[in-house]
Structure 1
Amino acid sequence: MARAVGKGGAKIDIDYWVDRLEELLLDRSRRIPFTSKTIVDGDEYLHLIDQIRISVPKEITEAQRVLQEQDQIIARAREEAANIVALAQEQRDRLVGEHELLRRAEVEREKLLERARQEAARIAAEADAYALEVLRELEQQLNAFQKTVRNGIALLEGQRTAKEEKDPKAGS
């Protein structure tokens, strides 16, 4: 049973005051004929209500305060949770944006690399073609030089042979 300390310091049982209120309504009130209504002594009724209020345990008042604090804590927690969710969403959006930028940069990098590979392959093919052309020209020039050298050798050998035939002593 809930007990509280009254004005005089004695413990008062709330049930006692509720019983007194019930007694007032059932035993000491007058019924109005042909209705379910009763007439109650207003002063005595208010006195009993005051006594019940006084008798309400301190714990109930404390519980109400705790409930109010709990409501405030819950409200703050919800507010903090909403802030955390908002920050998380902002961070998610930022990361998604960064991810999208990274993805785009990667796509662009791949395109640039492919263009660079193609350009390098084209330049290498052109360089190979140029080198082949230069080597063929060089081969032709070397063949022409070789022909000239052979002709020069043949000419000199022919002149030497002709001199030796004319003057056999000059060859020895």
Structure 2
Amino acid sequence: MAENNVDIIELLEYLQDIVDGASKVPITGKVVVDKKEVLEIIEQVINCLPDEFKKAKWMIGEKERILGEARKEYEDLRKQTSEFMKKQVENHDVVKEAKFIAQEIVATAQRDAKAIRLGAREYADEILTQLENEIEEKTEEMVNVIKTNVETVAVSLNNDMTKTASTIRENIKELRTSIK
């Protein structure tokens, strides 16, 4: 294991020497390296890593997988618990009593609405009956006024006709007396 550490350190130092000795790109501060050579050194470093690193990487992957499964199971359990609690609340006496009270309130409101409708109909019927009675009274009054006016005109006409007839009779009498 100590030998692997020495190899890794030597490879990393060699990689550092490649970067330090590489051609510099002006103004940018970047360097140009041989990609193939750098990748070969990185591959050698990976191959020199102890099995413990590989096992640790595998364990981290397993840890993430197990945590993912645990989160999924937690969410499923939380949903089941929430649904169970919801059902329990719905079955609870307080909820049942609240539903009963709500039904009573609705029934009372419906009865009140019906009573208001009936009251409105009775009021409308009463108003229309009063209107009908007033129309009948006014019609009767108008008929009586018309009768009185017609009777007055008829009496006046009768008086005028009687006077005219009387005048005609007197004129006929005078005429008869003067002709004789």
Q: TM-score range by the shorter chain?
A: 0.3 to 0.5
**TM-score w.r.t. length of structure 2:** 0.44
Q: What is the TM-score when the length of structure 1 is the normalising length?
A: 0.45
If each structure's helix is expressed as a fraction of its own residues, which one has the higher value?
Answer: 2
